[in-house]
Structure 1
Amino acid sequence: MSETATATIWDRYRLGVTLGAVALIFLAALESLAVTTVMPVVSAALDGEALFAVAFAGTLATSVIGMVAAGAWSDARGPRGALYAAVTLFLLGLVISGLATNMYVFLIGRLVQGLGTGGQTVALYVVVARLYPAQLHGRVFAAFAAAWVVPSMIGPFLAGAVAEFLHWRWAFLGVAVLTAIAFATVAIRLRGVDLGGGEGGMGRAVWQRLGLASVVAAGAVVVGFSADLDDLRLGWVIAAVAIVVIAVAVRPLLPPGTLRARPGLPSVVLLRGIVAAAFFAGEAYVPNLLMNRFAFTPTWAGISLMLAALAWAGASAVQGRYGDRLGNLRIALIGTALVAAALLAVPLTVLLGWSPLVIVLLWTCAGAGMGLLYPRLTVLTLAYSHERDQGFNSSALSISDSGGSAVFIAVVGLAFASLGGEGGAYVLAFGMCIGLLVVGLIPSGRLGHGAERV
C-alpha cells in the first residue's frame, strides 16, 4: 500500500504542521472575537472613544492587502516566506497593541495585525495544497473550521474574563506568546520541506490588484479617523470623498456589475459584503452598549457574542443539510430577517427601556441568520466559478466581506461620534445597519443558481 494511501493529517510527517496550523487559525479567530469584547475597556483606558470603530475597520481593511500580497507571493515563490512574514506581522501587531500607551499606537498595532491575519490565512491554505495529498484536504479544512468554531464559543467570554480579572493587555500579549509557540512548531516541521513555487516575480496585474487593495484599505482608515476631527462636518466631507475613491478602486477587484447588483455572481458577492457589514458593525457595538449603558461586566457582555456564535454554528449545520431544499432566495430572506430582528431589538431596548436581556437573547438570531447566509453564499460563489476564475471569485468574496465591513464600520463609527455616544447614537448606529440590510433585499432576489444543484 502506498504512502499516500495510508497518509493522515496526524501522521508523523504532518503532525507538527497540522497542530501548528490549526493552532494559528485558532488563535487568529480567538483574537478576532476577543477584541470585540475588550474594545470598550481599551477605548476607555486609552481615552480613544472617538476612534473605537477604527480598531475594527482598520484591521479588516489591511487584511485585504495581506490576502492579495500573500496569494501573489505564494504563487511566485511558494508559501513559506509569505507565511513567515504574515505571522511575524501578526505577532508584531499584537505586541504593539498590547503595550500601547495611547489609542494611536494601539491602532497602529491593529493595522499591522490585519496585514498578518489576512496573509496568514491565505499562506496556510497554500501550504495545505502543497504539503497534503488531495484526499486529505477536506480533513484539514474541517480541522480549520473547528478551529474557528471553538473560539467563537469561548472567545468572547474568555476575553471578557481576562479583561475583568487580569488586564485587557493580556488579551493581546497572551495571544502573542501562544502564537509564537504555534508558529515555532510549524516552522520547525517545514524546514527542508519542498513547498513548490517558482522563481518568478509578481506580474503587473498582481501589482495593480495590490495597489487597488491598498487604496481600499487606506480609504477605510481615513473614514475611521475622520471621527477624531474636532469639526465632524469636515469629517463627513472627508469620509464622503474617501468612500467615492473606495468605490472606484474596488470595482476591478469584484466581478463586473457587482456594485449594480447584476443577477448571478455579482449579486452573491454584493450580498456577502452587505450582510457582513451590517452584522459586524452591529456586533462591534453590542458589548459597548451592554457595558456603558447597562453596566454589564466584560465577562457577561461576552456571553451575548458567545450565544450568537453557537447559533451561527447550528444554523450552518442546518444550511449544510437542508440548503438545497430551502433554496437560495428563501435562505437569503430568512437569514436577512433574522439579522434584522436582532439589530432592531437594540434601538427598541434603548428607546422603550426593555431589559438588556432582550438584546442578549435576540442577538442569537443574528448569529443564526449569518450561519444560514455565509456558507450558502460561499457555495454559490464556487457554483458560479470555473477553474480559470476560482481564485479571482474567491478573492472577490473575501474583499467584499472584509472591505465592505471595514468601510461600513468606519461610517457607523463616524455617525456614532457625531451624536456624542449617547443613547441616540446607538439608535442611529443600529438603524444604519438595518437600513443597509433593506438595501440587501435587492441582490437577495437576484442570486439565481450556479451549479450547486448539479
Structure 2
Amino acid sequence: MTTLTRPTDTDASSAGILDRPFRMLTVGIVACVLLIAFEAMAVNTAMPVAAKALHGVGLYAFAFTGFFTSSLLAMVVSGEWCDKRGPMVPLGVGIAVFGAGLVLAGTATTMWTFVGGRVTQGFGAGLVIVALYVVVGLRYPERLRPKVFAAFAASWVLPSVIGPLVAGTVTQHVGWRWVFLSIPVLIVAPLVLMLPQLRGLRGGDAVGEPLDRRRLWLALALSVGAGLLQYAGQRLDVWSLPPAVVGAALLVPAALRLLPRGTFRARRGLPTVILLRGVAAGAFISAEAFIPLMLVTQHGYSPTFAGLSLAGGGVSWAGGSWLQGRPWAEPHRLRLVQAGLAAAAVSVALVALASQPSAPAPLVAAAWALGGAGMGLAIASIGVLMFSLSAPEETGANSASLQVSDALGNIVCTGLAGVLFTVLGTGTTSGFTAVFVAMTAFMVVGVAVCGRARS
C-alpha cells in the first residue's frame, strides 16, 4: 500500500476544505465531531434521570470519571496506532466502540452496567479524537488546517444550543434510554464518508514498526492513577488518602514520560504548546462546570436560564476559531494564542466578580461570550502550532500528547476546584469565588509562558 506523508500547499493548491479534493472527508470528520458533541451535551441532560431510574445515584460521578479515565488510555493507544498503522483503523474502531458503549448504556438494567457503557464510550471517543487530529495533519495542507479546526469548533455550536433541549424533551416524553440508543443510528454516515478517503494514508517513517508497549503500559498507569485521584477527590475523608497517594504515584511518573520532555517546565517549542492546551482547557472548562450552580444558588435563576447563559460562549468559540482560520492570521499564530488566553482570563475573573450576590447576573453571559471567543482563537491555534512542530511520523504521538494534556488539565483543575469548593463552603460565595480566582490564575500562567512556544 502506498505511504503518504504530510501534503504540501502545492497539493490541490486552490482547493478549499469543501472543494472536491477534500469535500467528502471534511463532511465526514465534521459529522463525526458533531456526533460526539451532541452526545456530550445530551448525556449531561439525561444522566440524572438515568441514575435515578437505575437506583444508582451513589454511582453518578463514576459515569463521568469512567468516561474520562478510559479516554486517557485510548488517546495514547490511538496515537501509537496512528503512527504505526495509519489513522483509518483506529478511527473506524473508535467510532464502532463509541456506538457499542451507547447501546450498552441505553440498554443497561443496573447502574454498574450503565457505568460500563460510559467507560466503553470513553475508550471509543479517545481513539476517535486523536485519529481525527492525525487525519487533519496528514491529509490537509498546512494552509487549510486552521479552517478545519474552525469547522470542528463550529460543530459544537448547534449541539450546545439545542442538545440539552432535545435531550430533555426526549427524556421527558420518550424515555432517557432513547437519548443513548438514537445516536448509534447516526454513526453510519461518518463512516461511509470518511473511511474511503483514508485508504493508503500512513504516518511516515514509523509505519510498520511494532507498537511501543512501554507507552501503552504508561498509558494504563496514567488512566488508573487519574481514576483513583478522581475517586479520592469525591470522598475527601480519611479513606480518600490511600487512593490519592497511589493515584499520584501512578499518574505523575506516567505523565512525565508520556508528554514531551520538559512539558511541565514549559520548555521552548512543542513542550510549551502541549502545556498550554492543558492549562487553557482545564481552567476554562472547570470554571464553566461551576457557573450554572452559582447562578442557581447565588442568584436564584432556573437551571434552564443558567444553562442558556453559557450558550453565547459556544457561539463565540466558533467565531474565534473562524477568525484564526483567516489567511491574515497565520503570521500571528502565537499572538493569537496569547490574546485568546488573556481574553479567557478576563472572562473567568469577571465571573468571579459575578459570584457576589449583589453582582448583575447577566454579567456572566457577557463574560462567557468573551471567554469563548478567546478560547476559539487559542485552542485552534495551539493545534496548528502542534502540527507545525511535528514530523509526519510523530503526528500521532504528538496529537495524543495534546489530548492527554487537555484531559489531565481537566482532571487537575476540576479536582482543585472541587477541593476549594468543599473546604471553603459548598454553595457559599467564598467557595465559588475561590474556584473562579484559582482558574483565573491558571489562565494568567498560560499567558505568561506563551512566548516560550516559539521553537
Determine if the TM-score, normalized by the shorter chain, exceeds 0.5: yes
| 1:211 pairs with one of 217, 221, 236 | 217
- Counterpart of 1:155, as a letter, is P
CA separation of 1:13/1:118 partners in 2, compared to 1, >3 Å: closer, same or farther? same
Corresponding residue of 1:235: 240
1:167 equivalenced with 2:166 (yes/no): no
Corresponding residue of 1:336: 341
Cα drift, residue 307 of structure 1: 0.7
Question: SS of 1:351's equivalent?
Answer: coil
Q: Aligned ranges for residues 372-451 of structure 1 at < 5 Å?
A: 372-417=377-422, 421-423=426-428, 424-447=430-453, 449-450=454-455
1:308 equivalenced with 2:306 (yes/no): no
RMSD value, Cα: 4.3
Q: Aligned ranges for residues 44-63 of structure 1 at < 5 Å?
A: 56-63=64-71
Cα drift, residue 225 of structure 1: 1.4
- Counterpart of 2:284, as a letter, is F
Residue by residue over 1:279-301, the C-alpha shift from the partner in whole angstroms, topping out at 9 and shown as x without a partner, is 11112222343345555455433
CA separation of 1:47/1:413 partners in 2, compared to 1, >3 Å: closer, same or farther? farther
Cα drift, residue 384 of structure 1: 2.8
Cα drift, residue 28 of structure 1: 0.8
Cα drift, residue 249 of structure 1: 0.5
Question: SS of 1:263's equivalent?
Answer: coil
Cα drift, residue 17 of structure 1: 7.2
Cα drift, residue 216 of structure 1: 1.6
- Conserved? CA contact 1:57–1:410, under 8 Å: no
Corresponding residue of 1:92: 100
Percent identity of paired positions between Structure 1 and Structure 2? 33
TM-score, normalising length from structure 2?
A: 0.78
Q: Aligned ranges for residues 51-450 of structure 1 at < 5 Å?
A: 56-74=64-82, 81-98=89-106, 105-123=113-131, 145-146=150-151, 148-167=152-171, 173-174=178-179, 176-183=181-188, 186=191, 195=200, 203=210, 206-229=212-235, 232-235=237-240, 238-239=243-244, 241-291=246-296, 294=299, 296-321=301-326, 323=329, 328=334, 330-417=335-422, 421-423=426-428, 424-447=430-453, 449-450=454-455
Q: C-alpha separation between the residues in 2 aligned to 1:325 and 1:138?
A: 12
- Counterpart of 1:212, as a letter, is L
Bigger drift between 10-19 and 300-309 goes to 10-19
- Conserved? CA contact 1:319–1:376, under 8 Å: yes
Question: SS of 1:267's equivalent?
Answer: helix
Unpaired segments ≥5 residues, structure 2:
1-11
TM-score, normalising length from structure 1?
A: 0.78
- Conserved? CA contact 1:33–1:152, under 8 Å: no
CA separation of 1:289/1:159 partners in 2, compared to 1, >3 Å: closer, same or farther? farther
- Conserved? CA contact 2:17–2:147, under 8 Å: no
Bigger drift between 41-50 and 206-215 goes to 41-50
Q: C-alpha separation between the residues in 2 aligned to 1:383 and 1:13?
A: 22
Cα drift, residue 115 of structure 1: 0.7
